Copies of this chain bind each other. A is one copy, B any other.
Amino acid sequence: MSQAAKSQTAYHHGDLSRVLVERAVATIEDKGVEAVSLRALAREIGVSHAAPMRHFPTRSALLAAIAQHGVESLLASATRDVDDPALTYLEKLRAMAKGYIAWAKENPVHHLLIRNQDVMRHANDDLVGRINRYARLHEDTIARAQAEGWRRDEDTRTVFARLTAITAGLAMIASDPIYKTVFQGGLSATEIDAALADFFK
């Protein structure tokens, strides 16, 4: 009998932290962030109303922890190919944008959370540092791609703003339900590539 299975019938739940996160994500997916309640989660899981606080001291901390994991996962997805020596810097840039957008499409709940100021307000301080380090990497990669000849005469900060905007914008269009009606059927991966193609030409 596994440790987890044994714990399920015992006084200790054994895996409460993970289950709390899972159920919270599921709740957000179909009822929204607002609908997340520690007591309701505890009820669903079958544990006492104060049990969740042994794992997350406050409701905000639970949401912030999920968002924190989301940012880490997003940055991992965006930087996956960034050290591949076979790629030009322009190709790395494209990979960063595509990785970002693909992540947002696959993780709409996390993408929602990391854009929520109420949630991010309670995120760990060093998360902001990590985001800023990524931003610098992004800007630096742009500068190197320019050194390769791409948009050589344009202002780096302007290109940075434009690329950040189109990436964040396409991510939003690809994952936010309100755009599912504006772009009927949503945007396919092919269409996203097409929307990006002009910029990386």
Alpha-carbon gap, A13 to B165, bound state (A): 45
For residue A77, which residues in chain B have a CB less than 8 angstroms away from its CB?
none
For residue A135, which residues in chain B have a CB less than 8 angstroms away from its CB?
182
Alpha-carbon gap, A169 to B173, bound state (A): 10
For residue A131, which residues in chain B have a CB less than 8 angstroms away from its CB?
178, 181-182
Contact residues of A between 147 and 201, Cβ < 8 Å to B:
154-155, 157-158, 160-162, 164-170, 172-173, 176-179, 181-183, 187, 191-192, 194-195, 198-199
> Which of A17-25, A45-53, A79-87, A117-125 is found at the contact surface with chain B?
A117-125
Contact residues of A between 8 and 51, Cβ < 8 Å to B:
32-34
Evaluate contact between B32 and A177: CB separation under 8 angstroms. no
Evaluate contact between B33 and A191: CB separation under 8 angstroms. no
> Beyond A158-B191, A165-B170, A166-B169: 11 further Cβ-contacts under 8 Å?
A116-B116, A128-B178, A161-B183, A162-B195, A162-B198, A165-B169, A165-B173, A167-B169, A168-B168, A169-B169, A169-B172
17 CB contacts below 8 A, A to B, read: A32-B121, A33-B118, A116-B116, A117-B176, A131-B181, A132-B181, A132-B182, A135-B182, A155-B194, A157-B191, A161-B170, A161-B173, A161-B183, A165-B170, A166-B169, A168-B168, A172-B172
